[in-house]
Amino acid sequence: MTTIGFIYPDHAAEDDYLLAQQLLGGADSEQGDIRLPVEHIYGTDLHAVPELLDLGSEARLADGAALLAKHEPDAVIWACTSGSFVYGWDGARGQADGLARVAGVPASSTSFAFVHAAQALEVKRVAVAASYPDDVAQLFVEFLAAGGIEVVAMASADITTAAEVGRLAPDAVVRLAVQHDHAEADAVLVPDTAMRTLAEINAIEAALGKPVLTANQVTVWEGLRLTGTTRLVRSMGRLFRVRG
């Protein structure tokens, strides 16, 4: 049994992780060898820099690791893009390293998951379709650049809270990704774990004719990567059809 624990801020789209567990052949399937437990930490759901710095603080993540301990995870992921990239590359590295120390297992975050997933797909140039306000979205662009990924186009939907993002209808999620593609982009990135995307990934990729990387998708993939687990499925986008 492989158990990957996710620390998720507040409530918005955490049911994507239950869906991922089902699609990957999780604990309630015949294979039954993957568990993806989610535990929540609470702060503000504002997409604003001071609030995001507080949300991703060492103390809050330590609380999340303590909640996950009962699941005996093999790896732990901070399932929040903005609450990790807002620290910058070095700060986010320190954040993940600190989480690994308190959890006692390998750890990472959604921001690093995007970089590692892009590397697995050999993606160098991307378009970003962000739900955040522009100033927050720009910090994601800077984080990707530090990871060697060029952003050729960036759109920000200026949605100020995670709760509002979580209420987006499936067709709105598809439109956000498809309408903000760029001809020079190798892939489109949709960076918000508050957005339900897993059920829409294949439709988006079919419309784009290129990979799409979404926050909850890459977060799950990162956990599998950290545990050395490979699971190839057709239902979670091109990322899950390659060996990372």
Contact assessment for residue 145 and residue 126, using Cβ atoms and an 8 Å cutoff: no
- Output the pLDDT for position 30: 46
- Output the pLDDT for position 45: 80
Q: Look at residue 145 and tell me whether its pLDDT is greater than 70.
A: yes
Q: How confident is the model at residue 243 (pLDDT cuts 50, 70, 90)?
A: low
Q: Can you tell me which residue has the tokens 């993540």? A: 61
Contact assessment for residue 16 and residue 216, using Cβ atoms and an 8 Å cutoff: yes
Q: Look at residue 223 and tell me whether its pLDDT is greater than 90.
A: yes
Query: According to DSSP H, which parts of the chain are helical?
Result: 15-23, 49-55, 58-68, 82-85, 88-103, 110-120, 134-146, 162-166, 170-179, 201-208, 215-226
Domain 2-241 in CATH 3.40.50.720: no
pLDDT digits (tens, 9 = 90+) for 86-132: 999 999 999 999 999 999 999 999 999 999 999 999 999 999 999 99
The DSSP call for residue 191 is -
- Output the pLDDT for position 26: 59
Q: What string of DSSP letters covers 56-104? A: T-HHHHHHHHHHHGGG--SEEEE--SHHHHTTHHHHHHHHHHHHHHHHT
Q: Look at residue 32 and tell me whether its pLDDT is greater than 70.
A: no
Mean pLDDT of the chain: 93
Q: Look at residue 28 and tell me whether its pLDDT is greater than 50.
A: no
A 10 A CB-CB count for 31 gives 10
Domain assignments of the chain as residue spans, ordered by start: 2-241
- Output the pLDDT for position 162: 83
Q: Considering the entire predicted model, what is its pTM?
A: 0.95
pLDDT digits (tens, 9 = 90+) for 180-220: 999 999 999 999 999 999 999 999 999 999 999 999 999 99
Average pLDDT over residues 155-164: 88
Looking at the DSSP bridge assignments, the partners of residue 5 are: 76
Q: Look at residue 27 and tell me whether its pLDDT is greater than 90.
A: no
